Amino acid sequence: MARDIGIDLGTANVLIYVEGEGVVLNEPSVVAVDDKTDRVLAVGAEAYRMVGRTPGNIRAVRPLKDGVISDFDITEAMLTYFVNKLNVKGFMSKPNIMICAPTNISEIERKAIIQAAEKAGGAKVYLDYEPKVAAIGAGLDIFKPVGSMVIDMGGGTSDIAILSLGDIVVSESIRVAGDRMNIDIVNYLKREHNLVVGERSAETIKIEIGSALPSDNPKTMAVRGRDNFQGMPQTITVNANEIESALHETLAQIADAAHLALSKLPPELAADIIDRGIMLTGGGALLEGIDKFLADRLEVPVFIADSPLDNVAKGTGALLEHMMDKG
């Protein structure tokens, strides 16, 4: 018997939930391809180590951009590799797959995601929306007649949804999230310090000292890169307040999108959200001070989910079980 699986197909990472086992795979959404032969050389963590370090004929490709498939063949190769690695197929049977997407995708993008999952070895493929699935994974009971609000800050998109009775009442999705923050840091260092760093280094800076709020006693970090004028390697020290200023505009855009979602709500549901607060999930929820930043902007309590990186993958599993129980 094949075991059903849930896939969080993220711009930055792919997480897979296997029925009865929980989240068993979490790898970067990166594929290394040989340009001369079009052969896939490495997938996931192994390919991520090659980012920015490959010779001319090897490309490290991120096949998802802004939460949707930008390279279909490579997405299919990546998913097939991950599904085969898990060994979930039965002797004669294939697993059912639940996969997630941002709320604002087009019908063509939706079909591409389903098709990639089918080609990777899915029997039946179900697609649901990321913030709804994240809410379930974060432990919110979205099937009650009460409003629940989730902000899911991923790599490519920030998805905001207000849910009631098991469905999305209002949603906003903007293609502004973790990847944009990395670019903000790259641009800031080049502009203010004439230092050129790659997106991978920028992500490390964001994780180590990134902050949504200025601090009286900011953390510092040594950053290595290339001097923009002389072209020589250089090391500088940056502090968390500099990174806060680099990220400020992007975070304000996410807060504005959440504000827009709140402004469209029926009054009863708005009252529920004021009472119950907003659940933050996704990798962006790990940014220092992001809960307070959003709470100040939205004037509503904001909480960070217990394991924000796993919520979507866990939610796919819970939703699959919910569907199979209903039969």
Q: Is 80 annotated as a binding residue?
A: no
User: For residue 4, which phi and psi values (nearest 5 degrees)?
Assistant: -70, 150
- Is 2 labeled as ligand-binding? no
Decide: helix, strand or coil at residue 38.
coil
Task: Give the integer Cα–Cα distance in Å for 11 and 191.
Answer: 27
The token duo for 197 is 């760093």
Beta partners for residue 99, in sequence order: 7, 127
Two tokens at 102? 């941002």
Is residue 206 a known part of a binding site?
yes
The residues with which 283 forms a beta bridge, in sequence order, are none
Q: How far apart are CA 152 and CA 213, in angstroms?
A: 19
13 annotated as a binding-site residue: yes
* Residue 205 marked in a binding site: yes
- Would the annotation count 157 as a binding residue? yes
Residue spans of alpha helices (H) in the chain: 45-48, 72-86, 107-119, 130-137, 178-193, 199-209, 240-263, 267-276, 290-298, 311-326
284 is in an annotated binding site: yes
Q: Is 12 annotated as a binding residue?
A: yes
Taking the C-alpha atoms of residue 288 and residue 212, their distance in angstroms, rounded to an integer, is 6
Q: Is 11 annotated as a binding residue?
A: yes
Q: How far apart are CA 109 and CA 1, in angstroms?
A: 31
The binding site for ATP comprises 11-13, 155-157, 203-206, 283-286
The binding site comprises 11-13, 155-157, 203-206, 283-286
